[in-house]
Every structure is written in C-alpha cells, then in structure tokens.
Structure 1
Amino acid sequence: MKSALKSGLLALAAAALPAVAYAHTGVGQTSGFVHGFSHPVSGLDHILAMVMVGVFAFQLGGRATWLVPTTFVLVMALGGALGVAGVNVPFVETGIALSVVVLGAIVALNVKAPTALAMGVVGLFAVFHGHAHGAEMPEDAGGAAYAAGFMIATAFLHAAGLGLGYIIGRAGERQGAFVTRAAGSVAAIAGVGILAGVI
C-alpha cells in the first residue's frame, strides 16, 4: 500500500510537468491551461479548502474518498461557468473564506457525516471557488483549457489531502487522529484570519 501511494504521488508529479514546461510558451489553449492550473494553487484560501476536502474524504472513507472530491471538482466547474458568463453570485470571497473555516473545523472535529451530506457541503463551497476561477479568467485564455487547468489543479490538491490523511494515519490511530485534527484546527484558524482580512 505504501509503495502504491509513492507511485501515485510520483505519477501526479510527472503529470504536472507538462504544465511547468509550457509555462511561458504562448497564448490561447496553452496560456489558458497554465492560467487555470495556477489559479487554485496561487491562493492560500483555495489551497487550504481543497486539501481539507481531501482530508475530509479520507476521514469518511469508503465511497466518500472519491465521491466527495469528485463532487467538488464537478460543481466547481459549474461555478466556473457562471463566473465566465458574468452571472453574479453574492458573497464569493466570504464563501471561499468560510469554506476554509468550515472544512477545517469538520476535519478538526472528525465529523462523520453521511456521504450525501458531505457531498452537499463541499458542493456548496465549490460554487464559490469555481465562480472565482471563472470570473478571473484572462481574456486571452482558451475557456476549455482554462477550465481543464483549474479542475486538474484542484484534483491534485484533493489528492494531496487524501495522501496527507493516509500518511498521518500511518502514524498510528491515536497520534494520527491528533495530527489530523490539529491540521484541521490550523486550517480553520487560518480561515478565520482570511475572513477577517488579517491573512
């Protein structure tokens, strides 16, 4: 299992290399993908929320390990479409900051929600994250490539959260649970700072 995780992480890194290689080579589809990929990883709020989605999915286990992150990515794409179309979604930045607080708290408290409820919670927050990505799409970016970029980057961040949960869990049931909850607490506190404009 440990070697499979290492192989998976290496595969993710290898898959990300083309985005790095094309970082400065043109506009349109290439520019769109690079801008889309970089958007989720350029803000602490996006990174924390998406990693927490992965950790939350790991804590739930079973089908939730793939249903919860997949829901986030798909609903985020719909939110992105709204942003590109110029459809107003109120309180986007507040919703993003709250997602960090709530998801961090869920991880810290080790909430064992039903999978459907977990999908609903992450889906709600995904609308805000997606709208922010879509609304900030550069004019010279290809729309489909831009969307593919931010969806793939988000999936990587979810995978990082799942991997983090697994690695922490290997520390032992008691220590792993403590470290996971501590990580959720740190994320929630950071979310409060983001919400207050301190971070």
Structure 2
Amino acid sequence: MFDNVMALRKSTSRLLVALLLPGVAVAHTGGEVHSFVAGVMHPLGGMDHLMAMLAVGLLAGCAGGWMRWALPATFVAAMAMGAVLGANGIETPLVEVGIAFSLVAFGAALVTQRALSAPLMIVFTAGFAMFHGHAHGTEMGAGLAALPYAMGFMIATALLHAKGVLLTTSNLLSLKQLTLRKWSGGAIAAAGIASFCVTIVSA
C-alpha cells in the first residue's frame, strides 16, 4: 500500500515538474515570459478547463490504440482554432454553455462506458474543444503576445491529456479502472451541471 501511495506521489510530482520547467526555461529569455506563463496557467486556473482536459485524456486512455494520441491531438488542434476566433473577436454563441455541456458529455461517457465509434468521439471532442479554445482566446489580456500565450495553453493542455491517459494505464490503478472512470466521470458530469446552472442564473 505504501509503495502504491509513493508511486502516485511520484507521478503527480513529475506532472508538476513538466508543467513548471517550460516556464522556468522561458524566464531566462526575458520579454515574453509573462505571455507564456499566462498561457500555461490559464487551463490550470479554471476548474472547468482542467476537468475537461483530464477527461479527454481518460477517454483516450480507455479507448486505447491509436485513439490514445488521436483524441488529445484533435482536442488541441480544435482548441487552437477556437482560440484564433476568440482572439480576433469573432463571436461564438453560448461558449460558457458549450463548456459546461462538454463536462457533462465527457463525464457521462466515462460513467456509462458506452463504446462510441472513433469518428463520433473525434467529432464531439473537436466541437467541445472549440468552445474551450474560444474562451482561452477571448480571455487573453491585451498585453500578452499571442504566440507564446497559445503555446503555453496548448502545452499545458497536452500534458493534462497525457496525465489522463497515464492514469488509465498505470499499474497503480489497473485493478481499479472501472472505479476510476465512474467516480471521475460522475464528478466531471456533476461539475458540468453545476456550471450550466450558474451560467443560466447569471445570464
């Protein structure tokens, strides 16, 4: 049991180091460090973004095979497209609702264990990623350089996806995958419902 706990701590520590090292490296280059760090921190600062990106990694890991890299790659690519729209002031309706529904959809997929076809998973993942990307682009401060900021949140997103995939393949959790999927999926879906309710009330 002690060995399992230590393995989990090591895994978490590696993720934190992976997230922090790029920021440390760029800090020595001067000028645009703030833009890069802001991009890295943006997905980590919002629970909705954080949970959605981990969920995609979990779904990719559960799907297995080529979907382990195709699903995260689809999310990152579509998110980048959404960010371009948001950064250029191109309106996309119901962004916050779309983000909330992404949590509900990803969480429900984990809980129900429904074997969606690969093309369908890619399509709905890309659609929801556009909403998340639009929010990233829209919320970019006027003083932030676009490219470093975009690189920051794309790298952070990819690392969160990787963490989700690793959780489904880790020896530590191999005997508890069903429990992991159901509990994490339920929590993610519940967060999505709560976020949707808050969005409606504050509208």
Fold conserved between structures, TM > 0.5: yes
Matched, 1:109 2:112: yes
2:116 counterpart SS class: coil
User: Do the aligned residues in 2 keep the contact of 1:28 with 1:142 (CA within 8 Å)?
Assistant: no
Which stretch has the larger CA shift, 6-15 or 56-65? 6-15
Q: Displacement of 1:20 after TM fit?
A: 4.7
Structure 1 residue runs without a partner (length 5+): none
Describe the superposition over 1:5-45 as per-residue Cα deviations: whole angstroms up to 9, x where unpaired.
99987665443233453798898521111111111110110
Task: Tell me the equivalent position of 1:182.
Answer: 183
Give 1:157's match in structure 2, choosing from 142, 156, 160. Answer: 160
Q: Distance in 2 between matches of 1:114 and 1:28?
A: 46
Q: Distance in 2 between matches of 1:19 and 1:115?
A: 33
Distance 1:27 1:131 in 2: 28
Cα offset, 1:96, TM superposition: 0.4
What are the Cα deviations for residues 145-164 of structure 1, in whole angstroms up to 9, with x where unaligned? 00000101111111111122
2:78 to 61, 75, 80: 75
Q: Is the 8 A contact 1:25 1:31 kept in 2?
A: no
Match of 1:123 among 98, 123, 126: 126
Counterpart for residue 65 of structure 2: 62
CA distance in 1, matches of 2:103, 2:30: 32
Residues of 1 paired with 2:113 and 2:128: CA distance? 19
Q: CA deviation at 1:113?
A: 1.4
Please say if residues 86 and 138 of structure 2, whose CA atoms lie closer than 8 Å, have aligned partners that are also in contact: yes
Contact map agreement 1:64 1:115 (CA 8 A) in 2? yes
Equivalent residue, structure 1, for 2:142: 139
Q: Secondary structure at the match of 2:170?
A: helix
The CA distance in 1 between the partners of 2:195 and 2:29, in whole Å, is 34
Whether the aligned pair in 2 keeps the contact of 1:82 and 1:131 (CA below 8 Å) is yes
What is the DSSP-based 3-state SS (H/G/I as helix, E as strand, rest coil) of the residue aligned with 1:197?
A: helix
The CA deviation string for residues 103-130 of structure 1, in whole angstroms up to 9 with x for no partner, is 0000111121122111111100000000
Q: 1:44 to 1:12 in 2, by over 3 A?
A: closer
Partner in structure 2 of residue 96 of structure 1: 99
Aligned length: 193
Structure 2, unmatched stretches of 5+, are: 1-7
CA distance in 1 between partners of 2:121 and 2:16 (Å): 28
The equivalent residue for 1:45 is 48
Which digits, 9 at most, give the CA deviation of each residue in 1:134-182, with x for residues without a partner? 001111111100000010111111111112222388442xx42133112
Please give the alpha-carbon distance, in whole angstroms, between the structure 1 residues aligned to 2:20 and 2:68: 26
TM-score by length of 1: 0.86
Say what the alpha-carbon RMSD is for the aligned residues. 2.8
Distance 1:170 1:128, change over 3 A: same
TM-score (norm: length of structure 2): 0.85
Aligned residue identity for 2:80: A
